[in-house]
């Protein structure tokens, strides 16, 4: 059996055998998700707001916070999903701004606390909308603010997801697994379209020389350890091959091939401009059901995904 066919069959098996005892995400829902826009003011239930931490007071550096409608300060400790977003790339409609991210909201159906973290510019005065800016400042931002946000909103420390789209998908490992300290912040990972270590990028020096880049990315990838990891991709199996080469015995990785045209219809449409997008979970589809099923399994028992 080919690796591709095996991965697809494994995903179907997981869908067929998943339990519904603790399934907060409505896998069979026909609902349309509307990604909330960023507004002014303090964080409160049902709102998504921009937040500048004290270390960056007087600058334009900021992240966004969304609290679910049922969040209360003294209520149930909710899961939380952090996100890194894509580059400024007009061809796909991506602005590179934290305000325009959407993957984390789609993955959580708006039922988790959702935070979009910034990449920080070299001058440390504004968010970086294309590639990396000041990598060390970006890593430090997460190290300081992720624990702070968990405390501030009483998030569940055992349900801390990190996700990313495009540039952000690379950043899940490139930033999120930069060293042991930041790697220990997360309990599960999700990427969509691209992955750290898979390719060099034409027109930039990013990822070149490829052999050196892949060697460094391999060390970051090993910091995943046995935590659940969902890799979503619109039309490429290169990531699966790279992960398989680095972690040949890993069972904690699940691969989901997503046809975004099937999920959202012809482009452009009301959700996205092009096939390369982070909004494919906004409409019901078999891909959304599969992703939400995986999320539910992680919420119920993270070790369940590593034992199959």
Helices 167-174, 210-222: inter-axial angle, 10-degree rounding: 60
Residue 123 φ/ψ, nearest 5 degrees: -85, -5
**pLDDT tens digits for range 25-54:** 988 899 999 999 999 899 999 999 999 999
Instruction: Report whether 143 contacts 162 (CB < 8 A).
Output: no
Give Cβ neighbours of residue 211 (< 8 Å, ≥ 6 apart): none
CA-CA distance, 220 to 174, in Å (whole number)? 7
**Does the pTM exceed 0.85?**
yes
Q: What confidence category does residue 17 fall into, taking pLDDT thresholds of 50, 70 and 90?
A: very low
CA-CA distance, 127 to 129, in Å (whole number)? 6
Helices 3-17, 286-300: inter-axial angle, 10-degree rounding: 70
pLDDT at residue 18, rounded to an integer: 39
**pLDDT tens digits for range 287-296:** 999 999 999 9
Percentage of residues in the chain with pLDDT exceeding 90? 82
Q: What is the mean pLDDT of the chain?
A: 90
Give Cβ neighbours of residue 170 (< 8 Å, ≥ 6 apart): 164, 194, 195, 196
Average pLDDT over residues 229-258: 93
């Amino acid at each position: 059996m080919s690796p591709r066919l095996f991965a697809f069959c494994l995903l179907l098996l997981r869908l067929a055998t998943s339990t519904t005892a603790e399934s907060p995400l409505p896998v069979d829902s026909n609902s349309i998700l509307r990604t909330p826009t960023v507004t002014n003011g303090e964080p409160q239930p049902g709102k998504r707001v921009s937040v500048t931490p004290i270390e960056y007071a007087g600058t334009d550096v900021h992240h966004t916070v969304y609290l679910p409608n049922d969040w209360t300060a003294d209520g149930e400790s909710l899961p939380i999903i952090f996100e890194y977003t894509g580059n400024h790339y007009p061809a796909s409609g991506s602005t590179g701004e934290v305000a325009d991210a959407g993957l984390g909201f789609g993955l959580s159906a708006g039922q988790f606390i959702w935070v979009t973290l910034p990449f920080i510019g070299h001058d440390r005065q504004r968010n970086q909308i294309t590639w990396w800016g000041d990598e060390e400042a970006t890593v430090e931002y997460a190290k300081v603010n992720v624990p702070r946000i968990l405390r501030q909103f009483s998030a569940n420390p055992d349900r801390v997801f990190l996700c990313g789209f495009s540039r952000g998908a690379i950043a899940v490992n490139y930033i999120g697994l930069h060293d042991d300290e930041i790697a220990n912040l997360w309990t599960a990972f999700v990427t969509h379209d691209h992955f750290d270590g898979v390719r060099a990028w034409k027109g930039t020096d990013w990822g070149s020389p490829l052999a050196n880049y892949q060697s460094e990315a391999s060390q970051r990838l090993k910091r995943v350890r046995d935590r659940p990891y969902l890799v979503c991709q619109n039309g490429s199996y290169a990531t699966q091959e790279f992960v398989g080469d680095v972690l040949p015995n890993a069972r904690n990785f699940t691969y989901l091939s997503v046809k975004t045209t099937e999920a959202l219809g012809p482009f452009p449409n009301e959700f996205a401009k092009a096939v390369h997008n982070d909004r494919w979970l906004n409409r019901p589809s078999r891909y959304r059901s599969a992703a939400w099923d995986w999320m539910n399994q992680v919420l119920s028992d993270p070790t369940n995904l590593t034992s199959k």
